[in-house]
Amino acid sequence: MEIIKTGVAGTLESCDASVSVEEHGLLELVIESADSRFAPRVREAALAALAELGVRAARVTVREKSALDCTIRARVMTACLRAAGLEKAPWEALK
């Protein structure tokens, strides 16, 4: 999936994550976690979502407020689809 503009999704409410995805030459992922002990889990969830969508080059920032993995995944995917200018998700490719 090619990132062609900046896409943001989510909020900074409790249990949510605010994700921004921008054009970038490499894949760069920044995690700002409400609880640092979960930062590795958040990173794993975000990387898995990016891999599932085939995003290989982007600057991705995830600021989260105790969001669960499924929320991280949803917000990362929404931001990516918005940044790729796609209205339809590749459902058949998603697990």
Closer by beta carbon to another protein, 58 or else 64 = 64
Q: Which residues pair with 29 in a beta bridge?
A: 60
Given the DSSP bridges, would you call strands 7-9 and 17-22 parallel, antiparallel or unpaired? antiparallel
Packed helices 69-83 and 39-53: angle between N→C axes, nearest 10 degrees? 40
> What is the CA 50 to chain-centroid distance, rounded?
7
Shortest distance, position 69 Cβ to another protein, whole Å:
7
Closer by beta carbon to another protein, 25 or else 68 = 68
Give residues 6-35 in contact with another protein (rule: CB under 8 A): 9-10, 13-16, 34-35
Contact 24, 83 (CB under 8 A): no
Closer by beta carbon to another protein, 33 or else 58 = 33
Contact set with another protein (CB under 8 A): 9-10, 13-16, 34-41, 65-71, 73-75, 77-78, 81-82, 87-89, 91-92, 94-95
